[in-house]
Structure 1
Amino acid sequence: MTRPIAYISNPLVRHSAERDPEALAKALHDPRAAMIILAGDLPILRAGEPGTSLHPAAILSRLPAHREQIFLGTLGERPVVATLAEPEAAEPFQDDPAFAVVDLRSIAVRGLVPAEELGMLAMAKSLLDWHRRHRFCANCGAPTQAAQAGFRRDCASCGTQHFPRTDPVVIMLIVRGDKCLMGRQPRFAERMYSCLAGFLEPGETIEDAVRRETFEEAGIRVGAVRYMTSQPWPFPSNIMIGCIGEALTDEIRFDGEELEDARWFTKDDIRQMLAGTHAHFNAPVPIAIANHLIREWVKD
């Protein structure tokens, strides 16, 4: 069975349209509340097969201190709160076999929590990371304070309200007949190739971003573009917009700065890469949207 795209399943009811300024306080006083804890960038899990990222509220007493807290929403009748602690808060949990402190990417790759918890963890990590990086007002430079249960930061000095942001990224499988284009960055795992990707720029459509990024990275002109699917990517807070683009040209020209290689692959190549039997190349990891795009393409 193919593992689903990571981070896309989130069963929380967010209550965004009814944001109550007292929602966080109410959730923290609810004995049913579940806590998601991040020590810096690292989630603290209760170990198991699978484990869980949802802790009883009593876990807060094991933290030496904590920073921002966010009321994420409700899971059934159970409120869920995300808490940001300093990185050193992870140390006592690392020595306790009942817990695991693991980065979010590894949690998804290794299946350390149920799939539906990955979306909650992605939401928690993105929001807490935003708070960590936006403690001062971009308008006047004064300190800001968390508000609206963690879904806003307010500047008391100039009155500006700041809201969490998500950065859109196009990720595209470029195809031409019975072959597709993939590239390799130096940071990739050995032998792995993946779809090209890049950030949308202001005033740009998704389709034009696909065309621009493909030409900038590989020198390939692209015509028709169609949307396939999307994936929250909490590193730190992106939305990956998966597309298929039709190449108009064949000759690859890359400058070696973003990519160390780019090449065309046949459908047979891709099938072998997905099966792990290719003699020279590996597919992107199953949790990634790129893996889904190439799987869908070889089905056609």
Structure 2
Amino acid sequence: MIEKFCHECGTKLTKKELENEGIVPFCPKCEAFRFPMYNVAVSMIVINKQTNKILLIKQYGKDYYVLVAGYVNRTEQLEHAVAREIKEETGMTVSSIKFNRTQFYEPSDVLMCNFTAFVENDVEFCPNGEIDAYRWFTYDEVRKNIRQNSLAAYFLNAYLDGWQNAIGR
């Protein structure tokens, strides 16, 4: 999504050539180029190391399962956001984190960064008010239960396909 107005002064942006960048939105009042702005979020494939199961959650009155996810705060490292969001939403402490991939989600102007986050067990599990329901799924069950044709399913399936290729399934 291209910004239409300057985020500093509110003036309508024009388009102007910028060397090595091409056509970029430009504020004639501030005399500054204004690159598109968007939000950054993290989504996590949460794996219980003790049971080798994956956590899916339902939120906001929706009747489908998705991955735990949340926005990254300004100046926050992605890995910190992963651990923070899991702690806030589930009460669990992350023991290790692995980056998977990213995908821009145009409907909400969000760069979604996906990780696998491992927890030792679910002893600390205490969902907050953002979680309506949850369930731990086996690797075989989880594909069938995540919201189909969603960004969460894309991340999960890519992770599982890599896992299955690694063990020769």
Is TM > 0.5 for Structure 1 vs Structure 2? yes
Greater strand content: 2
Checking the alignment, whether the CA contact within 8 Å between 1:185 and 1:259 is kept in structure 2 is yes
**Partner of residue 267, structure 1:** 139
Question: Aligned partners of 2:56, 2:116: CA distance in 1, in Å?
Answer: 12
**Partner of residue 78, structure 2:** 206
**Partner of residue 252, structure 1:** 125
Aligned mate of 2:111, from 236, 239, 242: 239
* CA separation of 1:248 and 1:153: change in aligned 2, threshold 3 A: same
Checking the alignment, whether the CA contact within 8 Å between 1:166 and 1:239 is kept in structure 2 is yes
- Tell me the CA shift for residue 291 of structure 1: 4.1
Q: Give TM-score, length-normalised by structure 2.
A: 0.77
Checking the alignment, whether the CA contact within 8 Å between 1:166 and 1:238 is kept in structure 2 is yes
Checking the alignment, whether the CA contact within 8 Å between 1:181 and 1:263 is kept in structure 2 is yes
- Tell me the CA shift for residue 287 of structure 1: 4.7
* CA separation of 1:292 and 1:157: change in aligned 2, threshold 3 A: closer
Provide the identity percentage: 25
**Partner of residue 139, structure 1:** 8
Question: Aligned partners of 1:269, 1:285: CA distance in 2, in Å?
Answer: 13
Aligned mate of 2:66, from 173, 194, 210: 194
Off by >6 Å, runs of 4+ in structure 1: none
Q: Which stretches in structure 1 are left out of the alignment for 5+ residues?
A: 1-126, 275-281
Question: Do structure 1's residue 155 and structure 2's residue 155 form an aligned pair?
Answer: no
Checking the alignment, whether the CA contact within 8 Å between 1:218 and 1:262 is kept in structure 2 is no
**Partner of residue 149, structure 2:** 286
1:94-173 to structure 2, matched below 5 A, reads: 127=1, 130-131=2-3, 134-135=4-5, 137-148=6-17, 151-173=23-45
Question: Aligned partners of 2:75, 2:28: CA distance in 1, in Å?
Answer: 32
Checking the alignment, whether the CA contact within 8 Å between 1:151 and 1:164 is kept in structure 2 is no
Checking the alignment, whether the CA contact within 8 Å between 2:146 and 2:152 is kept in structure 1 is no
Aligned mate of 2:99, from 227, 239, 250: 227
Rg comparison, structure with higher value: 1
Checking the alignment, whether the CA contact within 8 Å between 1:171 and 1:290 is kept in structure 2 is no
1:233-277: CA deviation from partner (whole Å, max 9, x where unpaired): 112322221110111341322222x2212332233432xx52xxx
* CA separation of 1:290 and 1:223: change in aligned 2, threshold 3 A: farther
Q: Which has the higher contact order (CA 8 A, sep 6+)?
A: 2
Question: Aligned partners of 1:151, 1:138: CA distance in 2, in Å?
Answer: 18
Checking the alignment, whether the CA contact within 8 Å between 2:59 and 2:131 is kept in structure 1 is yes
Query: Secondary structure of 2:11's match?
Result: coil
Question: Do structure 1's residue 181 and structure 2's residue 44 form an aligned pair?
Answer: no
Query: Secondary structure of 1:163's match?
Result: coil
Paired residue type of 1:148? E
Q: Which stretches in structure 2 are left out of the alignment for 5+ residues?
A: none
* CA separation of 1:144 and 1:296: change in aligned 2, threshold 3 A: closer
Paired residue type of 1:288? L
